[in-house]
Amino acid sequence: MLIFEHSRPGRRNYSQSPTTAAEVRNIPQHLLRKTPPLLPEVSEMDTVRHYTRLSQLNFSIDTQFYPLGSCTMKYNPRACNSLAMLPQFLARHPLAPEDTGQGFLACMYELQEILKDVTGMAGVSLTPMAGAQGELVGVAMIRAYHEARGDYARTEIIVPDAAHGTNPATAVMCGYTVVEIPTGKEGDVDMAALKAAVGPKTAGLMLTNPSTLGIFEKNIAEMSRIVHEAGGLLYYDGANLNAILGKVKPGDMGFDVIHINLHKTFSTPHGGGGPGSAPIGVAERLLPFMPVPIVAFEQGKYRWLTEKEIPQSIGRLSAHMGNAGVLLRAYIYIRLLGAEGMYRVAEFATLNANYLMAELSKAGFEIAYPTRRASHEFIVTLKDLKEKTGVTAMNVAKRLLDKGYHAPTTYFPMLVPECLLIEPAETESKQTLDAFISSMKEILAEAHAQPEMVKGAPHTTPVRKLDDVKAAREPDLTWKQSS
Amino acid sequence: MPFIPHTEEDISTMLASIGANTIEELFDEIPPALKSGSLKALPGLSEMEISRLMQERAEVDGRYLNFIGAGAYEHHIPAAVWQITTRGEFYSSYTPYQAEASQGTLQLLYEYQTMMASLTGMDVSNASMYDGASALAEAALMAVRSHKSSRRILMPTTVHPIYRRVVRAIVKNQGIEVVEIPYCAECGHTLVESLAPYAGQDIAALVIPQPNFFGVLEPVDALTDWAHDNDALAIGVVNPMALALLTPPGEWGSTGADVAVGEGQPLGIPLSSGGPYFGFMACKQSLVRQMPGRIIGRTTDLDGKTGFVLTLQAREQHIRRSKATSNICTNQGLMVTAATIYMSLLGPEGLRRVAAQSHANTVALVEQLETLKGVKRIFSGPLFHEAAVTLPVPTDAVLQTLKAQGILAGLDLGEHYPELGNALLVCATETKIADDLKKYVEHLGRVLA
């Protein structure tokens, strides 16, 4: 039942809006709304009950294990939420003077400094509001760098075929043409293809390392040399930073610019699809182009640097300074971990992934890159299972929902057929992983014994398999009074 | 070990299963030369220690009586909004790609889309964008995509100055030209006559703010009709709270604006130094396939039961890659959860009362300020809940003195509109009571005396 179906004309909450209806003077009649908007007329209890019940239809980290590859679904500590929501932080207006926000700005400054250290970069700006916006900023800086040197010939961005979809989409938004390069048998970027692709048109290369195949690009130093010698820059998609936190710094791998998904590595909540936050880090040569504002600490005071101090900045990406509340949560998380805790993140994320990979392999699942170490994630391919039983990766994913697990990432990266990309994250215990492994074994047995049942999954979720085709062909995107 | 549950026994069993001796061995594919290792010494804190640190910092920041608006507005947020929004099932859930495991979020987003479409008078809404400024940039890109030839956007200077910068930063690498249109110095809004130089030219869209950055109401009907007469799209950039009172973009002019975007923050989102907020975007049915971002649709399951899914995904980056409408993959799910609960609690009458009281408070504040010698509202156009006033002394000195009294007196307009002289943008939402206005006026009176 929709909230609108609970609505009754004239019902309302009296405590939550002004007691009297103020007179609207000074607004000409023709600018005033004629009919009220279609908002529900319900009681406070109706609202609380309706949305509490809706919440219960969701899977979440607080209720389920999410072995969701490339998404780093780790526990979101409650202290991060409650401390970021202290009343003074919530009440502070974004345009309030800097001296009324020294406590907040201290956190932001320290976060910038810590992220510089973690990534090995020369500068950090906290402003991008999501991974894709961090990418947009990063590629825009690459463009600004070339143009500032009078080099307008560079029109191409190289992207491996295993990359996130945001990489090519971002390159296009920055006015570049995308050159896709293939992956070799062992899962590394095909070096011959890379050599053939670079040249005077190369603006840069976008790379995730460890890659979305769950393996560390061993040739990264050589790749860095090839791209730099051709005059291009290296972009690091920080989606998988969790796997190498404190172990390798992207700056040391030769990257010129990086975005960091705080909602992955630094445990800020996914919130059902946002808000994200993706600070960017840059090497020395990109410092003049960083997006503003950036926090500075001078003569004992924190203040914002803007276009005035960074005149070649690529500009602003949001009305204010980015997703402040998300940044606070990440700061609190980092302070809880300390340096030791950050090393352990990578260590235990990697231990969990390799353990799961080993056990699933023993259980009869085919590993896509069996000769490689898993980073913090790995790929299972169900090509054989599909040929033998007709059960697909999507069917297995949906059957996992019945067993109380969120599905792994399916059909990504696209180059591995019938794939499940599995990432357990460091916050899961061996016992949880063992229970998941048992469920995977059960599903494998079910696929052979009762393939039709598996294909019909899920069976126990609030709704069964939904008709996507109907949704796209006859879009029903808003509720109408008569419907 | 914070947030890591492994016992020593677990670790050794797991390593044995993998066939490794140490955890460090699992990193043996990383070339040793790259292992830079050590991070700067940063001791981990206990929850008690970090609580103390954060509380101290929050106290340093203090609380002020705030009269700044300028795109972010202080409104009362009912207790239920964030208590429900931060339930783990909303807070810690993933993007609803697995629809069967995400019906709560998906249904909520469908309800949100319905509320926003109705509030803006549009046919459809997406599931939200990053913030108001970036939503406007995406609307400009959308207009250019849907227009056959033009790559030019007309942008009144009454649009939020930072929004204008953000639009430029986001669209500049795609060869899109943003032309600024001056405002009427007397009335404080855009005049249709000032668009005359562009009549008959190839224009992709005209941006129409309502209310505008000065809090003044624009002649939206005439501006919308001008855009359509010139084969351009009309993009409304609106305050959603104002729409409880004002004509929605979908009803502007003879056929309505084509796209409505704006900052969703007034709908239950705390100010929190600038984010996270959420942008909204709604449009005419004919433009839906050009719209960026996530969209939720209602459908049925195998048993014919109603359910909700992410739909029209053929527009998006994870399917279309380099041919997507935008690189955006996230929305502001949790913020929209709060906004949807806020709008349900307020309802049409509650929202109208908040808007009306904010209007009335600002009108009252301006009237009282104008009793002070040399203080005067700058523009004659009708206002919603914000006003530009001129001061007889330098703005900065006034702001500093009032701040010392615990009052944030408004935004200095000097940086973005130096032609206005000593000018202050003030806003009094429904959260201000008569005593607050009196306190402000008294203190300002003392500064000016």
User: Has residue B44 been placed in a domain?
Assistant: no
Q: What is the pLDDT of residue B23?
A: 98
Question: How do residues B20-53 score in pLDDT, each as one tens digit?
Answer: 999 999 999 999 999 977 899 899 999 999 999 9
Q: Strand (E) positions, B113-220?
A: 124-125, 152-156, 177-181, 205-210
Same-domain status, B258 and B376: no
Same-domain status, A220 and A111: yes
Range of the domain at A445: 345-468
Q: Is the pLDDT of residue A371 over 90?
A: yes
Q: Which of B:393-422 have CB within 8 Å of A?
A: 399, 403, 408, 411
Q: What is the pLDDT of residue A9?
A: 96
Cβ–Cβ contact B171 with A under 8 A: no
Best of B327, B349, B361, B380 to substitute, by most chain A Cβ atoms within 10 angstroms, is B327
Q: Which of A:179-208 have CB within 8 Å of B?
A: none
Backbone angles phi, psi at B420, to 5 degrees: -85, -5
Residues of A whose CB is below 8 A from B114: 2, 4, 38, 478-479
Query: Helix or strand or coil: residue A93?
Result: coil
**Given pLDDT bands bounded at 50, 70 and 90, which one contains residue B298?**
very high
Angle at which helices A324-362 and B8-18 pack, to 10 degrees? 50
Select from B318, B340, B362 the last residue of a domain.
Answer: B340
Same-domain status, B353 and B325: no
Question: How do residues B139-169 score in pLDDT, each as one tens digit?
Answer: 999 999 999 899 999 999 999 999 999 999 9
The reply to whether residue B356 touches residue A42, judged by beta carbons under 8 angstroms, is no
Same-domain status, B233 and B382: no
B439, burial (CB in 10 Å: exposed 0-12, middle 13-18, buried 19+): middle
Pairing of β A156-160 and β A177-181: parallel
Q: What is the pLDDT of residue A25?
A: 83
Q: Is the pLDDT of residue B328 over 90?
A: no
Q: Is the pLDDT of residue B278 over 60?
A: yes
Angle at CA of residue A279, ends B313 and B26, nearest 5°:
85
Q: What is the pLDDT of residue A203?
A: 98
Residues B225-246, mean pLDDT to the nearest whole number: 98
Q: Is the pLDDT of residue A252 over 80?
A: yes
The reply to whether residue A174 touches residue B34, judged by beta carbons under 8 angstroms, is no
The reply to whether residue A427 touches residue B360, judged by beta carbons under 8 angstroms, is no
Q: What is the pLDDT of residue B236?
A: 98
Which two three-digit tokens encode residue A199? 């040249």
Cβ–Cβ contact A473 with B under 8 A: no
Lowest mean pLDDT: which of A265-269, A429-433, B294-298, B315-319? B315-319
The reply to whether residue B329 touches residue A335, judged by beta carbons under 8 angstroms, is no
Range of the domain at B256: 79-340
Residue type, B443: H
The reply to whether residue A140 touches residue B169, judged by beta carbons under 8 angstroms, is yes
DSSP string for A421-463? EE---TTS-HHHHHHHHHHHHHHHHHHHH-HHHHHT---SSSS
Count up the domains in chain B and report the number. 2
Cβ–Cβ contact A403 with B under 8 A: no
Count up the domains in chain A and report the number. 2
Q: What is the pLDDT of residue A266?
A: 97
Same-domain status, B278 and B153: yes
Strand (E) or helix (H) holding B407? strand B407-408
Cβ–Cβ contact A454 with B under 8 A: no
Residue whose token pair is 């190289």:
A158
Q: What is the pLDDT of residue B334?
A: 97
The CATH number covering residue B354 comes to: 3.90.1150.10
Same-domain status, B314 and B375: no
User: Has residue B7 been placed in a domain?
Assistant: no
pLDDT > 70: what percent of chain B? Answer: 100
Q: Which of B:179-198 have CB within 8 Å of A?
A: none
Q: What is the pLDDT of residue B36?
A: 78
Backbone angles phi, psi at A45, to 5 degrees: -65, -40
Q: Which of A:304-343 have CB within 8 Å of B?
A: 314-326, 332, 334-343
Q: What is the pLDDT of residue A458?
A: 97
How many angstroms separate the CA atoms of A223 and A194, rounded? 8
Q: What is the pLDDT of residue A481?
A: 81
Which candidate, B273, B272, B270, B275, places its Cα nearest to that of B332? B275
Q: What is the pLDDT of residue B172?
A: 87
Question: How do residues B175-186 score in pLDDT, each as one tens digit?
Answer: 999 999 999 999
The CATH number covering residue A410 comes to: 3.90.1150.10
Same-domain status, A206 and A133: yes
Q: What is the pLDDT of residue A162?
A: 87
Best of A30, A86, A93, A361 to substitute, by most chain B Cβ atoms within 10 angstroms, is A93
Q: What is the pLDDT of residue A473?
A: 93
Measure CB to CB from residue A129 to each of B131, B246, B306 and give the nearest one: B131
Q: Which of B:190-249 have CB within 8 Å of A?
A: 217, 220-221, 243-248
**Given pLDDT bands bounded at 50, 70 and 90, which one contains residue A232?**
very high
Question: How do residues A176-203 score in pLDDT, each as one tens digit?
Answer: 999 999 999 999 999 999 999 999 999 9
Residues B295-314, mean pLDDT to the nearest whole number: 95
Same-domain status, A355 and A280: no
Same-domain status, B123 and B139: yes
Same-domain status, B318 and B421: no
Same-domain status, B319 and B413: no
Residues A364-390, mean pLDDT to the nearest whole number: 97
Q: Is the pLDDT of residue A483 over 60?
A: no
Q: What is the pLDDT of residue A329?
A: 98
Q: What is the pLDDT of residue A175?
A: 92
Mean pLDDT of chain B: 96
Measure CB to CB from residue B61 to each of A56, A60, A100 and give the nearest one: A100
- The total of other beta-carbon atoms located within 10 Å of residue A262's CB is 31
DSSP string for A8-57? -TT---STTS-SS-----SS-GGGB-SS--------HHHHHHHHHHHHTT
The CATH number covering residue B205 comes to: 3.40.640.10
Measure CB to CB from residue A340 to each of B44, B62, B244 and give the nearest one: B44
Q: What share of chain B is helix, strand, coil (3-state, %, to 5)?
A: 45, 15, 40
Sequence-distant (6+) residues with CB within 8 A of A400 are: A406, A407, A408, A439, A440, A443
Question: How do residues B377-415 score in pLDDT, each as one tens digit?
Answer: 999 999 999 999 999 999 999 999 999 999 999 999 999
How many angstroms separate the CA atoms of B172 and B350, rounded? 41
ipTM of the complex, rounded to two decimals: 0.97
Question: How do residues B88-144 score in pLDDT, each as one tens digit?
Answer: 999 999 999 999 999 999 999 999 999 999 999 999 999 999 999 999 999 999 999
Query: Helix or strand or coil: residue B93?
Result: coil
Residues B324-344, mean pLDDT to the nearest whole number: 88
Q: How far is CA A196 from CA A181, A188, A199, B117, B157, in A?
A: 9, 16, 8, 50, 48
Beta bridge partners of A280: A125, A259
Measure CB to CB from residue B61 to each of A101, A323, A355 and give the nearest one: A101
Same-domain status, A223 and A322: yes
Question: How do residues A290-308 score in pLDDT, each as one tens digit?
Answer: 999 999 999 999 999 999 9
Sequence-distant (6+) residues with CB within 8 A of B421 are: B390, B414
Q: Strand (E) positions, A208-288?
A: 233-237, 257-259, 280-282
Cβ–Cβ contact A472 with B under 8 A: yes
Q: Is the pLDDT of residue A422 over 90?
A: yes
Q: Is the pLDDT of residue B320 over 80?
A: no
Same-domain status, B310 and B371: no
Backbone angles phi, psi at A343, to 5 degrees: -60, -40
**Given pLDDT bands bounded at 50, 70 and 90, which one contains residue A207?**
very high
Model confidence pTM above 0.95: yes
